[in-house]
Structure 1
């Protein structure tokens, strides 16, 4: 199904006018085409339906005016549905409307009188109605956002009418309950599901009742219903996972894991149980090994029965697992204060130790009037790479840093502007998204690190530029380093250009780029088990070095590097313990101050569960 035709887009009124003109000239084919286009833009407009009635009368109800096919136009599908209903074939018409809703759930395809009329529900076989409601449930989130519920409400009216006409049909009651639950009608969902179970006890009925109770906050009743469902069918392991998830939501992790272990004893590779088990074990002890094992399972089982969100849910809002960590240090603190004061520089910033060059340059560009005084350069000198490198990105004149590389191409800048974001579902998803940078030249990728382009003129870009430009710079650096992971992937890892460059960046001048490069290496370890030992060794060495330096002078990137270490597959216990020590037990996600927390909530909203 498609939403477009070959002709340029017109308004609904224009399409309708052309449809009427063609109809008056007897050109029914063009009349039907323009009517279908008007229907897409205004599916409930009375004038559209009046014109459709005229076309039907002129053609004798010719359905071929609105053909179906592999790439059927959605307007034609909906028009055909209305013609079928008018011809007394409402069940077939309803099937087409449901298909249109599945294609574009946000459109009010069903908001027409014949769908909500009680007579339709009376004529339809209740089992067919139940199946239709289940199809709708498959495309509606649970719960649906309030703003998205309107186009689906006609189907709830159909459910009400059907239940009134067939009050003891168990399958219908359960499916109606599932739809009511999604639309926020929780009390009605419980009522219908309860009636369905009383009419005909079954596993599916108990599952629907359990979900309804859970949405109503009646956890004990929900668990009882789900356990009865297990009694009906002890081999349906998905219900075990549902019980475990419900228990975990109430903090009963040990009981939840008992249920998961029972499911895994039946089938160690059952996808729902595996996903839930790894998520709950990570929730219990915070060991990233559980999430890495889950990512491996997802990679090795691409044909799972349905999509799971456990990995993304576990990584969400966690430093480096699901988002860039905000920069730390006196310079970015001064930047945030100045922006909060509408750009007024305020008092001078006095630095007892030189901060990362990316921080110094970002703040200087964002708040030109800020007076920065560097009182000294402590040892070890932060202007020097931590190890010898051929990839020198900065040169210093006293305490002022300047890039050594030219500005990247405009094409490279635009490519990263389109991709860069401070949040991602999980590291493998970030790796996959960065493939869009695979064709960039190495010089461009490196140039982006020290010459980040301006934030794009999007909602995200405006928020970042106005409230914390440091986040945008860090986004560019992170995605440029992820792009390096896709550079010359035909080269064996150990001797590859991508590994050599990233490792040199990790050991270069102490900077935000250090974090970005280390994240790219950690991401490589997530997606390629063969490189895990190598990456874990690099991470452990770099973490040990930063801990040594932090004993004698401030290291603004230390806590972030520690969080990166905790996200590293296969990190040895000593390095893990050191990472916990450097983070000081901070989560990196929930301890941010109010203004920055609100900003972060806005930026990461697209990656939260609907």
Structure 2
């Protein structure tokens, strides 16, 4: 927080000097920068008022152009409010909050004035709220909630002025549950459903009940939504997810099967079905099938996070697991004697993370490493950046993922990228081994034609390092077993061996990947887009 404040102070100092020189556009640029860094800083608003007084309102200094800078948009909103047009400024703040929800764009007095809720057109306010809700979590996390509460105050004032406006009540309910006020969400959704019964009203009511922990009432509302529109299969998926969360997996799967019977390729139903089937039996094949579906349907109706939810906190599926035991140093001849350059290290560190959403996402994220030559990626395997053992292991993983993006014009089986990674995977039993194996496995997730080859390689490594003939397993055995469990199309007997090895090692050290928060899918995005385009 100190650095943005110092940067904002520097912008303010230059803006003051520019005003004194009469360079109003230069001053406006620095004020936009300051307000982007510290949107509620009193000094910024005082100087903005001074600029407006010297420039006839100054609106022309903060134009709304395509891809406008967020600071420019917010400054214009405040100038409109100062000119007696707060209802015109409010949508600009909504846009800023949708762009960066964690910034306190609306934490200024004019936003919470009761008169604003009366002046703003209720339908426009409802649409602004609905668009904001698509950009934030459901419910949203921690600090962001406080940044959005001024909008809830606007809604309270607007609903008081328009107590029967169904769309405003429903949109207000959606925001209320996102900022952690489930009872308010229920009250407004109930009133909206009474004022104008509809599918959307029942969906909002169902979500509100669910956020309040009233599962039975949530299911009843969602079932009523189905009666309004039996062909909206996204509601079937929501019912299935709600039932599953309530522990009623058999009923949940029945609902999702009903949706698939109507449309086997409906994205919400497919994603939900694979996620629930995985929850029911734990078979990796469901997640691989989901990844294949997502790859074949890049234009889904909205963003889905089902695959990431299933992979989170699972070794290798969701990130590099903590080391089971042993040291991090490779016990083999280094793959490269060429030192890594500072540029290569920087490019790797821009991408390298200990966690990732799922293997296909890790593969995609490594595309930027095509700018790092293969010889440099091999050097990064020898001397990986990182301050901890797990960070260095992660750096090796990303270096190997980067190798996948070189020589991609060559057929997989005869490619240089395959040869490099196979040599790394079979040439030892250390951190380089697991890094290369994961890269091969990630490629098997994104290229079904490579799965038989990769599965054979992984099976061979597992048998060599942890098979029945092995009396003493090396420290890497647990990691290799977990890698095998992340491999598509592994034979059942091999999966059973990997499971036994992993469990035996986990009883000794219980390694895990760092916990990360799983975000709920934004399930009403598709409905919102349909509503807005009617």
Whether the TM-score (by the shorter chain) exceeds 0.5 is yes
Change beyond 3 A, Cα 1:508–1:223: same
Matches within 5 A, 1:152-163: 152-163=148-159
Q: SS state of the match for residue 110, structure 1?
A: coil
Are residue 609 (structure 1) and residue 528 (structure 2) matched?
no
Give the distance between the partners of 1:292 and 1:577, measured in 2 at CA: 18
8 Å CA contact 2:290–2:307 kept in 1: the answer is: yes
8 Å CA contact 1:406–1:447 kept in 2: the answer is: yes
Aligned to 2:529: none
Deviation at 1:161, TM superposition (A): 0.6
Which of the numbers 426, 430, 433 marks the counterpart of 1:514? 433
TM-score (norm 2): 0.88
Aligned to 1:428: 360
Give the distance between the partners of 1:233 and 1:185, measured in 2 at CA: 29
Which ranges of structure 2 fall in alignment gaps of 5 or more residues? Answer: 521-534
TM-score (norm 1): 0.78
Change beyond 3 A, Cα 1:537–1:154: same
Give the distance between the partners of 1:180 and 1:529, measured in 2 at CA: 44
Give the distance between the partners of 1:551 and 1:11, measured in 2 at CA: 61
Aligned residues: 516
Deviation at 1:42, TM superposition (A): 3.8
Aligned to 2:115: 119
Are residue 533 (structure 1) and residue 465 (structure 2) matched?
no
Deviation at 1:102, TM superposition (A): 2.0
Aligned to 2:168: 172
Which of the numbers 321, 337, 343 marks the counterpart of 1:406? 337
Give the distance between the partners of 2:379 and 2:14, measured in 1 at CA: 54
Aligned to 1:394: 332
Map Cα deviations across residues 451-472 of structure 1 (whole Å, 9 max, x no partner). 33341xxxxx4xxx3xxx2x23
Give the distance between the partners of 1:476 and 1:31, measured in 2 at CA: 44
Deviation at 1:259, TM superposition (A): 1.0
Are residue 89 (structure 1) and residue 97 (structure 2) matched?
no
8 Å CA contact 1:448–1:477 kept in 2: the answer is: yes
Give the distance between the partners of 2:240 and 2:282, measured in 1 at CA: 18
Give the distance between the partners of 2:59 and 2:385, measured in 1 at CA: 54
Map Cα deviations across residues 456-500 of structure 1 (whole Å, 9 max, x no partner). xxxxx4xxx3xxx2x234223322322222232222111112222
Map Cα deviations across residues 62-105 of structure 1 (whole Å, 9 max, x no partner). 53222121242333322322333344433322122222222232
Are residue 476 (structure 1) and residue 391 (structure 2) matched?
no
Are residue 445 (structure 1) and residue 383 (structure 2) matched?
no
Change beyond 3 A, Cα 1:505–1:131: same
Matches within 5 A, 1:274-313: 274-313=270-309
8 Å CA contact 1:550–1:558 kept in 2: the answer is: no
Change beyond 3 A, Cα 1:548–1:116: closer
Which ranges of structure 1 fall in alignment gaps of 5 or more residues? Answer: 1-8, 333-358, 363-392, 396-402, 456-460
Deviation at 1:360, TM superposition (A): 7.4
Give the distance between the partners of 2:359 and 2:203, measured in 1 at CA: 34
Deviation at 1:593, TM superposition (A): 5.8
Give the distance between the partners of 2:360 and 2:480, measured in 1 at CA: 19
Which of the numbers 467, 479, 499 marks the counterpart of 1:560? 479
Deviation at 1:422, TM superposition (A): 2.4
8 Å CA contact 2:329–2:431 kept in 1: the answer is: no
Aligned to 1:201: 197
Aligned to 2:502: 583
Give the distance between the partners of 2:442 and 2:364, measured in 1 at CA: 10
Which of the numbers 219, 222, 247 marks the counterpart of 2:218? 222
8 Å CA contact 2:465–2:473 kept in 1: the answer is: no
Change beyond 3 A, Cα 1:274–1:65: same
Change beyond 3 A, Cα 1:17–1:413: closer
Deviation at 1:295, TM superposition (A): 0.9
Q: SS state of the match for residue 163, structure 1?
A: helix
8 Å CA contact 1:543–1:562 kept in 2: the answer is: yes
Deviation at 1:253, TM superposition (A): 1.5
Are residue 504 (structure 1) and residue 423 (structure 2) matched?
yes
Q: SS state of the match for residue 60, structure 1?
A: coil
Give the distance between the partners of 1:529 and 1:535, measured in 2 at CA: 10
Deviation at 1:152, TM superposition (A): 1.3
Map Cα deviations across residues 497-533 of structure 1 (whole Å, 9 max, x no partner). 2222322333323333332222222111111111112
Change beyond 3 A, Cα 1:288–1:52: same
Change beyond 3 A, Cα 1:272–1:551: same
8 Å CA contact 1:133–1:159 kept in 2: the answer is: no
Aligned to 2:530: none
RMSD across aligned positions (CA): 2.8
Give the distance between the partners of 2:26 and 2:369, measured in 1 at CA: 45
Detail structure 1 runs of 4+ shifted over 6 Å in the superposition.
Answer: none
Larger Rg: 1
Change beyond 3 A, Cα 1:176–1:446: same
Give the distance between the partners of 1:277 and 1:202, measured in 2 at CA: 26
Q: Which of the pair is proportionally richer in helix?
A: 2
8 Å CA contact 2:199–2:224 kept in 1: the answer is: yes
